[in-house]
Structure 1
């Protein structure tokens, strides 16, 4: 089998983005652009991948890790110069090399595979991924002869007025015979308005050498969008969102308003779940079947069980069971675990804690660093006082306990199985099983106080 290589161009700073964040790290649907590309390439059975880094090299490496090799382009002298930085890793290796820009986040594995297959079937030394658009400004134009054969690619800056009328554009994605690519790059010059070494010049060099140069035109221009500024970034976000939402609708998920629903590409959603407007699902979130999510709810890196309702709430890095009700206006912070049939209601904040089956905290409570058993009722205004200014401490509430309204549980403390804490109590000592704890000042009425005052 022919070996497959990939070079990802990710060295540019992205001046037109006007941002301190390097261009390829700008997120689309919650994921950096370059990460979208690497994700898709990994599905194309790539044997070796090299990412060309420059500006923000360490941050790019931090996002991609060991999924790819890296080559540094210390000076940005054009796309041809960028690809040359991978020569040390890939030269003299037989196979096909795909070159992809790190700012084309909408490019799919299916299109990449089709490009490779077309390249192989035509025995070409180079194959260009092209697209047709009525708005070609800013893109390199693909020039063909009368027989339809690709002759060369002309960049927008160097195109004549006639050439600028051409509507078939170069997407910046190519397949090359690997050895031929690096041989031709040595012959690329920088005699152009930018004084740069353009990768598309390889096409004209191969044409003059009598080599086969092919082109594969994708049907979806939007897939090839290159992001150079915030306007293009918003367009990419729009089309990625549309693609993701339509995928899940076809998988049996209901969207009340797809335009107002935002889902990251790594999210998984079960059938017959309904997503209400303002829902945002981020990271590697898993939503079960027959759930109701939203409106105005954010879930990130969390797992939600079947038939669970989450409305007007925030859930981060948490595990939620089946038949759970969350919200409105609840906040589940990281390391929260809710068993089946739990109820978490209005203005309840949870952090690094667990609640057993059937327990509930219906309103206005903070429960942090706590282990709460099954069938526990936590009354309104209750707080686990977990922090002394230096360290966090654990509160334990055992099965069947009842915590009265406005109770403060000063950790470390345990409320035993089946016990009661009277409303308004501040608990500093452990409560034995099946006991009633009362820790509050007895009421004292000063009759006539106001009149005397």
Structure 2
């Protein structure tokens, strides 16, 4: 049920200069999703009446991600007046004029904060009947955070920024997490009083808390269970820390769901990936994007899958695959490279040092060793000899090859596309196939072997090879 009394404001206007990146901070990914997408997914889970996302820096790029993740979000462009207070002021203006519920304000760079924690936070605010509630966290080292100052009774008194804090206040471990929920009416009233009369020339949202307290309104502070839940990402180091924490949660979740993960520390699984019970993931493995792995499959070690489908009981070892499908009971690797468009049928094989691209390999068919298969269709129960090359590019255009079922090709073959090899056909070792091969035929390149007796003695006299040959002749 939609919470008609809740609106959510996502602050996504900042540049994030400490990232030192051409990519906007909020678009840097963890667990396969941009930072802001994690926040938007959490906001969507709360099922609020409205979600407003405030944007500014690299607007078009950010809006593209926001619209893909949460199409119903209202987009608000922050104007030339800087500061979080101004961002929230514009966001509230975008809400229906008669909205009289609660406004939850979250930052777009806090990817680990979950919906359950936010729901409890909103519930605590409503239970207290306060005009505003501040989310806080208890830190081992609160340096850099505004301190939550409480009175003798333990009730919230004020937020004191570090630069303004006394030594006693600096010793406080409870800091402002930068997440708030306000009564809409109280928020509207105080936002209009914000000014840019400060050293930075910004409208600060924290000033609303001070204005509410000065007006005699009740404000409460609710500490979050773990400080890492509200950790913001401001630089690459914090990005890595957040990614590591989230990955540990994802890996543990799959372990509890019945997936064997031998080494969680070296295993990375994106948020959208799906693993069935009794999958085994070996060390050094990355399961990325929307990859789906069915029951009984063994992935790894040292394997990367991105947006792949891995069938029941399949095995992929020491390989890299993107946008590929591996059928049930099929095997891949070691050291295979499956590029987009690869489809390996049930019980098929792509072996050591094989590269495939736009290749459809049928049930039971095998490409065991040292081969390149590009723009090709291979039927069922066929075997492609070691060192085979599908020459699919003529320098201008790509062409396709069609290989039938129960075909056997000799080692070191070259198939010059476009080419068709019929069912049950054979090709000899070292054959360059330039013409279609009928079903059941043998294709060979006629080049009789010629042995030149005495060539080594005549041309390499006195060499070790000559000595060995003379001894063998004697």
TM-score bracket for the superposition, by shorter chain length: over 0.9
Residue 299 (structure 2) aligns with: 293
Q: Over residues 113-167 of structure 1, what are the superposed CA-to-partner deviations in whole Å (9 max), with x where a residue is unaligned?
A: 2112222222333222211111111122222222222222223333333322221
Change beyond 3 A, Cα 1:161–1:19: farther
Residue 71 (structure 1) aligns with: 76
Contact map agreement 2:4 2:48 (CA 8 A) in 1:
no
Shift of 1:91: 5.3
Q: Does 2:427 align with 1:421?
A: yes
Q: Does 2:91 align with 1:89?
A: no
1:8 and 1:292 map into 2 onto residues whose CA distance is 40
Name the larger-Rg structure.
2
Matches within 5 A, 1:41-440: 41-66=43-68, 67=70, 68-75=73-80, 77-90=82-95, 92=97, 93-440=99-446
Q: Secondary structure at the match of 2:137?
A: strand
1:159 and 1:389 map into 2 onto residues whose CA distance is 70
Q: Over residues 30-86 of structure 1, what are the superposed CA-to-partner deviations in whole Å (9 max), with x where a residue is unaligned?
A: 321111111221111133222222222222122222523322224472211222232
Residue 471 (structure 2) aligns with: none
Q: Give the TM-score taking structure 1 as reference length.
A: 0.95
Shift of 1:367: 0.7
Contact map agreement 2:365 2:382 (CA 8 A) in 1:
yes
Q: Secondary structure at the match of 1:434?
A: coil
1:324 and 1:188 map into 2 onto residues whose CA distance is 65
2:17 and 2:384 map into 1 onto residues whose CA distance is 54
2:419 and 2:81 map into 1 onto residues whose CA distance is 61
Residue 465 (structure 2) aligns with: none
Change beyond 3 A, Cα 1:441–1:113: farther
Contact map agreement 2:32 2:272 (CA 8 A) in 1:
no
Cα RMSD (Å) of the superposition? 1.9
1:80 and 1:364 map into 2 onto residues whose CA distance is 62
Contact map agreement 1:54 1:75 (CA 8 A) in 2:
no
Shift of 1:309: 1.1
Shift of 1:378: 0.9
Contact map agreement 1:157 1:193 (CA 8 A) in 2:
no
Give 5+ residue unaligned stretches, structure 1. none
Correspondence for 1:28 among 27, 30, 36: 30
Q: Which moved more, 1:432-441 or 1:286-295?
A: 432-441
1:157 and 1:17 map into 2 onto residues whose CA distance is 24
Give 5+ residue unaligned stretches, structure 2. 460-474
1:315 and 1:157 map into 2 onto residues whose CA distance is 52
Q: Secondary structure at the match of 2:423?
A: coil
1:246 and 1:413 map into 2 onto residues whose CA distance is 50
Q: Give the TM-score taking structure 2 as reference length.
A: 0.91
2:165 and 2:49 map into 1 onto residues whose CA distance is 37
1:75 and 1:169 map into 2 onto residues whose CA distance is 29
Shift of 1:298: 0.5
2:446 and 2:287 map into 1 onto residues whose CA distance is 44
1:149 and 1:90 map into 2 onto residues whose CA distance is 31
Q: Secondary structure at the match of 1:368?
A: strand
Contact map agreement 1:158 1:193 (CA 8 A) in 2:
no
Shift of 1:366: 0.7
Shift of 1:425: 0.9
Contact map agreement 1:158 1:192 (CA 8 A) in 2:
no
1:442 and 1:90 map into 2 onto residues whose CA distance is 85
Residue 19 (structure 1) aligns with: 21
Shift of 1:103: 1.0
2:407 and 2:321 map into 1 onto residues whose CA distance is 26
2:96 and 2:207 map into 1 onto residues whose CA distance is 19
Change beyond 3 A, Cα 1:423–1:179: farther
1:54 and 1:444 map into 2 onto residues whose CA distance is 76
1:91 and 1:209 map into 2 onto residues whose CA distance is 26
1:298 and 1:74 map into 2 onto residues whose CA distance is 43
2:450 and 2:413 map into 1 onto residues whose CA distance is 20
Q: Which moved more, 1:65-74 or 1:383-392?
A: 65-74
Q: Secondary structure at the match of 2:241?
A: helix
